[in-house]
Structure 1
Amino acid sequence: MFLGVFLGILLSLVILFRTSKNTAFRIYGWSLLLQSIIAIDVFLCYTGLLKYVPHVNDSTEPLVLLLGPSIYLFIYALLERNSITFKKHWIHVLPSTVYFLSQIAYYTQPVSVKINAYLGAYFSEIQRIPVPDNTNYSYLWIKDEFRWLVLSSFIIYIILSIRLIVKHFYASKTKNANSIKVNKYDFSRNTIIGFLATFILVFLVFLNFEDDAGDHYIFIFLTSLILITTFVLLSESRFFENSWIADKYETSKIKNDQSSIKEIKAYIKDEAYYLLPTASLKDLAKNLGSNSNYISQIINVNTNLNFNDFINQYRIEESKKRLLDKNYNHLTIEAIGNSVGFKSKATFYNAFKKHVEMSPKAFVKFQKSVS
């Protein structure tokens, strides 16, 4: 369990520091951190070390209700390519928040009440210590049903996650799939399998153990999942690729390093450069005061895309918005393609299928069917 806590916190911090805001793997990082914090609580209980910090007993319960949502939102962000924000997805945090508010009476109780709660869960044969006569136990009405709340949450989010997997798993291979060791569909599927196995284990533990007596089995299993995840992410690391030692651009004599991938992306987005039909590598380099060779290298090394694919991904994202925007209903699909910078219908359709894995018409039809 301690190994799981250590690796879980380490891995989650690496992910959180290395990923951008609102991305799928940032959500996964938060999920790992939640699991690790909850595991600390269980670790303290099973080792008896909680006697040194009894006031934190059961303090992580609201976080348990975030485990299901965090895994689902990771899969949703990964497969739907949509960012996760509190404004759009606050409903998933609501059960945890409501439970937290219902337990404020417990959190403000004297330490003696919390010690008794710990003894009742792990050492039922030990005599309880005295508590104040006016102790308020109103929080127990929902606390006693907490395990079933967790099971209900797991069931709901497993169903939602499986729906997403089924929806996307049989889609055609993603772009650059041949260069990806573990593609996102496999990773999502394996996450679901791990999630489902955890649910089955939680269900069996709840049926066979009173209170928290079987929680160590759950978190030893989660430790195994964290070890596997650590192995997968390390095996995907660029550190082990030959290009990390001798990059194909390593011998380049270009010394102009004023333009970074962040600056390139910022310029393309802020200036809506991708909407220009005349957008080209040479013109972009000129606007950035750099060398087209260097800009090409920066884009390729950081995104594994050539310039055309790089600029087209911006155009496709904008076209997806316009295809669903009522303000553009007067335009044909071809006209929308032209409006985002594509010079011909064929170029637009080919790029759209490459990035979205379906035609523009099929995309519109699909979005209407799910809305």
Structure 2
Amino acid sequence: MANSKQFNVGVVGYGMSAKVFHIPFIQATPSLKLHSILQRSPKPNDSAPADYPGLQHHTSLDSLLADSALDALEAGKHVFCEKPFVPTSAEAAALADLARAKGKLLCVYQNRRWDADFATVSQLLREGTLGRVVEFETHFDRYKMEHPTNWKGTVPMEEGGGAVYDLGTHLCDQVYTLFGLPRSVYAKFVSQRQGKFYPSSDGVDPDSLTAHLYYDNGLTAIVRIGVLSVETQQPRFWIRGSKGSYTKKGLDTQEPQIKAGMAITDAKFGREGPEWAGKLALLGEGNSVSQTDLPNVEPPPTYAKIYEGFAKALASGKEEDVPVPASQACDVLRIIEAVQESGKTGREVQISS
């Protein structure tokens, strides 16, 4: 930590997530200072020291003391950890307890709470535009026949890898943010690439899933991930309520914009074209239905908000200021665990409150 006005930040890893989701936003947050990067094996065409010559650079855990949330907390550091955080809710609860015992702050990077389409959904529900929500459907679909070769495709589901921890964590976190913990979960896993339901006799891990999250008020939240979806505009949200419905296609624009070289200070950052506007259908007199285009909220939120929130928490020292506290990540992992158990056993799994 540098001084009362600015906090030093060390980034562990120098892959796509660090380059796209973290470093640009750290640099754009006035009270944060990018101080050091740990990259185990810099290469001529992929080198943090070459890209950021003015920083401190490390190639080993011991020199930075921040390779994991546990080690960083034990070393007296505040921690901002990538999702899915840890594989189990028990580990998440233990880290939350350790952070409190050490007097340190622990935040989990659930950045898609700051997607523009999710902010639009949140506003619709907060204002009651759709009435009582009876079905909430959320998708991460794409066409990707190639099996990933990074941790998403090589780390088994039991150890925190695969579709449920990669994309499922985002979807379950968004549902949890809106509605809290469900009463129960029923889920089916499948490997769409190989045409096999999970669990299969040859131990193939799933790449896709459908999970139903049931709430006491009659709401069903449906979480879907598919890798063989041939669409020009992939589905994202379909929400139905007593007064109306909302549908949205396409993923948030921030990731592709940064990958394409757009600065996060650009006036177009986080904004999408009119062809991607959601559709809002509302019930009128005599049960008539009218439909209009509904663009995302303005100004759109960006992933800078989670860093701004964490910087505020660092300044105040208060856990309640942390934008995504470990306790919430723990609850999301409870949902993920129920999804896994249901997918393995074929039964509906209860979640205790």
Q: Would the TM-score normalized by the shorter structure come out above 0.5?
A: no
Give the TM-score of the pair, scaled to structure 2.
0.22
> Which structure's CA Rg is the greater one?
1
Hey, which of these two has a bigger chunk of helix by percent? 1
Name whichever structure is richer in strand by fraction.
2
After TM superposition, the score normalised by the length of structure 1 is 0.21
